[in-house]
Structure 1
Amino acid sequence: MRVIALVAAAGRGTRLGASVPKAFVRLRGRSLLERSVAAMINSSVVDEIIVLVSPDMEAYAEEMLGQTGLLDAAVTGVPVQLTLGGGERADSVWAGLRTITDEDAVVLIHDAARALTPPGMIARVARRVLEGAPGVVPVVPVPDTVKQVDGDVVAGTPDRSSLRAVQTPQGFRLRELRAANEAYFAAADPGFTATDDASLLEWQGVPVVTVQGDPMAFKVTTPIDMTLARTITDEAEPTIFEVPGD
């Protein structure tokens, strides 16, 4: 059974405050996208990678990944292709899913902004789907007390012992994920907004199981996140190319 990774890199990432889309911001000489693609390759479980990019960054993404060797399957052993994403993350993932012809494939959906995700965690998610789970999400405990609010008034305090923060990649059997996406995009009013891919399976009543996540799989969203990523990353590589406008 083939494992195909979709790496979402079409978002703008405005909260990071960079002059380029978040996936193309450099972290010690390598963009977040490069690091995410490399992690998929290094997991040794991924057979193909589809990078979802915006139309205005397609040419640059191809040049960047090509110059660093990540598009050379003869070198990496894993073919990488680019596919145009949509306006929202869910649109991008749906566009990527429609390019996959292997109906029996396992699909990993990953955010390029989680650039320091360990390859071992990626493999852990994929293996659980290969063992038969229709949907798998990596999770970590929620360290803070969480409040439910109504406006600016506290409405309740959920028991955090049953709460988990969800990371990516999330893994799925393609058939279940494709069917859930078809139903979601066909519905005039699905009754909710899909904030992650697993929520679509939950909506369809398909079980989603958890595996252990990793603190390194945090999402680079704000300048503080980037500062943290720079602090804990000691891999400094020469910059081969210049980021437009950077």
Structure 2
Amino acid sequence: MYAERASRLAGAVVWTNTPTGAGGRAVLPDGCMDLLWSEGRLLVAGPDTRPYAPEGPDRSWAGVRFFPGTAPALLGVPAHELRDRRVALADLWPAARVRRLCDRIEAATDPATALEDVALDAAARVAAPDPLLRRLVERLDEGRPVSETAAELGIAARTLHRRSLNAFGYGPKTLARILRLQRALTLARSGVTYAETAVRAGYADQAHLAREVRELAGMPLGELLGAG
């Protein structure tokens, strides 16, 4: 069973997922990175460009999903180095520090809240998130073209691409596609017809929506919603 709540860390979400016996479902690209806790281990989920299928038996998870573009500064690693990867936090931070954090979470009554505290502590050690990156995410999530957004933000296309690689793990066009996919899924899950979903999410037509869902989610939209 999956549950989530808004985090005390601005823009982040704290979530838990416990086995239901129905098998794990694929994790879809969403523009975010996550700090994960499961069975005594701290992991980092990098930015996905394709569906991620959890391996092994079902297990309980807790996670903090960071607002797009904010995790690399907290973790001290460019996002593109973690693209489509799950890595141990001990590969990014000193092992002794990670062991102390694991002991702290293991002893907590609520591991999800303890994990959130780890994220808050990390955020307190670094500068505030770059407001330009947040504006970029907001504009693209509104369906604005990348070129128009770059001009509005007063940043050259090449510079925007480089900064996007570091912050999101891929360029702004890929980020725009992933955010558009998430808009479409939200609409379709609310009962909006596929044709209307395509128009409102910013696709050329329903066939364009179908191609993008198959490419980014790995299955047809109807199958994806049935699996959710």
Bucket of the pairwise TM-score, normalised by the shorter protein: under 0.3
TM-score (norm 2): 0.26
- Structure with greater proportional strand content: 1
Give 1 or 2: higher helix fraction: 2
TM-score in terms of structure 1 length: 0.25
